[in-house]
Amino acid sequence: MMNLAININALIPEIIIATSAMLVLLLGLFVKDKNNHLIYGVSQITLLLAAMLVAHSGFGPTYRVFNDMHIIDPAGNFLKLLSFIATSFVFLYSRSYLRKKQLLNGEYFSLTLFALLGIMLMISGANLLMIYLGLELLSLSLYALIALNRDNLDATEAAMKYFVLGALASGLMLYGMSMIYGLTGSLDLQVIATHLAEMNLDPSIMAFGLVFIVVGIAFKFGAVPFQMWVPDIYHGAALPMTMMISSMPKFASVALAARLLFQGLEPLAVDWQQMLLIMAILSMILGNITAIAQDNIKRMLAYSTISHVGFMFFGMMSGTINGLSSTFFYVACYALMTLAAFGAIITLSQKNKDFDQLNDYKGLSQRNPMMALMIMIIMLSLAGIPPTIGFYAKFSVLQSAIEVGMVWPAVIAVLMALIGMFYYLRIIKLMYFDSPSSLQKIHFSGDLLFILGINSFSLILLGLSPKLLMSLAALAVGLSF
């Protein structure tokens, strides 16, 4: 048994985030601050502080605390750090947009930090109960965040849809967990794994439990055939919320899949590999083909997310450490790209009009060459064209799949990536080859442009030296699984 002091120390990042979430809520209520500089500052500093603490434990030893409920390991630290970075970017991008829409208040920051707390708990969950609690904390915060824009019909509808479908998925997952619990008599992932491997258990119940858990995971990712909520919610929610949903929770989903499938249900790998493979291929096909038909860029990016999820599943499908680390790398790259993509839309959006129709982008290169260049880089990266980071993401996933002999699925994957290139290129086409429908000046703030600049050029810089991120992902996974 560990002593209590060590237990508390291990949880300090979580405690900081939780405290700050509540503090920000109170500050928002009681401190008169028109531009909310204070709560913004507090949130960002909290993130920095927590990130420093997590980075400090870094690639240290793996250990479990609170009666093996909570696990600290390099893979978890890696994902947590990425979540902090993503959250920080979300705050940076969203601030001015939310201020324009009068949504920038204590609740926003508080809920986001609670969502982050949920993500952290999921990442560190070593017990089905903890994972489920983290998942619910994350989901409930997200429902509320989307509904924050309560005067907007679309947003309210999106929140309602997300809530109903999310609750259903949580229910399914819980049902699966209960079956596994019934079989093995434990909620602890390690114990479950040993029991599943050693005892002679009823295979049909095992399969039932597994299917429900995989369905829950697939729903949280938004993989086909559980993708129905993705386009509507991306479309309906306000831009900063969409940005958040598309970036931060993906880390939690990857962690969820890694913990449940690679740790708890590892003995059933043969079964879930097939499920993941089918869902991966279907997601790539449906996501890429349907995205072509969209005329709203948020919906287009929603379908693009589905196809990227297909690639993440494709990495995990191999069931190897290499495959998992390629998925970790993929999700990191994906988050950077999607943050940049939504960041660009937010930057361009005007006070009374979102820049979310594809036709808005017509002739952007003539209206603002710098923005057009950055969006081009983002689109090329999403399409996976070298020398951007998006290429290496796809490359490492394909590599891990071919390694286990999945050559033909890899061929399907590259063909789907090819189809996907079409709609990314279409944005470039609109920006560069078409003439603008209006020459009206686009107003945006310089600091947003600066952040977007850093974000989008990092896609190229990381593409020129992907070694660092790749090695980190490989090391984190290698040390933990």
Partner 1 sequence: MQNYLLSISIWTPIVLGLVLLCSNQTSQRFSRYFALSAGLISFGVTWPIAMRFDLQSQLFQFQEFFHWILPYRINYHLGVDGFSVPLILLTSFMTLLVIFSTQKSDIKNLPHYHAAFLIMSGLMIGVFCALDAILYYIFWEAMLIPMFLIIGIWGGPNRIYATIKFFLYTVLGSLLMLVAFIYLYLNTGSFSIFDFYQLPIALPAQILIFLSFFMAFAVKIPMWPVHTWLPDAHVEAPTAGSVILAAIMLKLGGYSFLRFAMPIAPDATWLLKPIIIALSLIAIVYIALIALVQKDMKKLIAYSSISHMGFVTLGIFMLSPLAVEGGYMQMISHGFISAALFFCVGIIYDQTHTRQIDQYGGVINSMPFFAAFAVFFAMANSGLPGTSGFVGEFMVIMGAMKEGFWIAFIAALTLLFGAAYSLWMVKRVFYGTPLNKTMESLKDIDSIQWLTLGSLAILILVVGLFPSIITDFTNVTVDSFIHLMNRSKLPIL
Greatest Cα pair distance in the chain? 71
Whole-angstrom Cα distance, residue 359 to residue 297? 9
Whole-angstrom Cα distance, residue 392 to residue 385? 9
Does 8 engage in binding with partner 1 (CB under 8 A)?
A: no
- Do the beta carbons of residue 217 and residue 253 sit within 8 Å? yes
* Least CB distance to partner 1 at residue 378 (A): 13
Does 467 engage in binding with partner 1 (CB under 8 A)?
A: yes
**3 state DSSP class of 357:** strand
State the number of binding residues for partner 1 (CB under 8 A): 33
Q: Which region among 4-12, 179-187, 268-276, 428-436 touches partner 1 (by CB under 8 A)?
A: 428-436
Give the tokens for residue 436.
């603008």
Of 98, 87, 96, the closest CA to residue 45 belongs to 87
Amino acid (1-letter code) at residue 413: A
With respect to partner 1, which residue has the nearer C-beta, 305 or 318? 318
- Do the beta carbons of residue 350 and residue 443 sit within 8 Å? yes
With respect to partner 1, which residue has the nearer C-beta, 101 or 426? 426
What are the φ and ψ backbone dihedral angles of 70, each rounded to 5 degrees?
A: -125, 130
* 288 membership: H or E segment, kind and range: helix 269-292
Does 63 engage in binding with partner 1 (CB under 8 A)?
A: no
Q: Which of residues 378-407 bind partner 1 (CB under 8 A)?
A: 380, 385-387, 391-392, 395-396, 398-399, 402-403, 407
Does 450 engage in binding with partner 1 (CB under 8 A)?
A: no
Whole-angstrom Cα distance, residue 455 to residue 453? 5
Of 97, 101, 60, 102, the closest CA to residue 77 belongs to 60
Does 375 engage in binding with partner 1 (CB under 8 A)?
A: no
Does 289 engage in binding with partner 1 (CB under 8 A)?
A: no
Amino acid (1-letter code) at residue 410: A
With respect to partner 1, which residue has the nearer C-beta, 252 or 374? 374
Q: Which of 410, 448, 462, 476 binds partner 1 (CB under 8 A)?
A: 410
CA-based R_g, the chain, Å:
21
With respect to partner 1, which residue has the nearer C-beta, 89 or 330? 330
Does 292 engage in binding with partner 1 (CB under 8 A)?
A: no
Whole-angstrom Cα distance, residue 467 to residue 471? 6
Q: Which region among 98-106, 298-306, 440-448, 466-474 touches partner 1 (by CB under 8 A)?
A: 466-474
Does 417 engage in binding with partner 1 (CB under 8 A)?
A: yes
Does 241 engage in binding with partner 1 (CB under 8 A)?
A: no
Does 414 engage in binding with partner 1 (CB under 8 A)?
A: yes
With respect to partner 1, which residue has the nearer C-beta, 144 or 402? 402
Give the footprint of partner 1 on this chain (CB under 8 A): 380, 385-387, 391-392, 395-396, 398-399, 402-403, 407, 410-411, 414-415, 417-418, 421-422, 425-426, 428-429, 432-433, 465-467, 470-471, 474
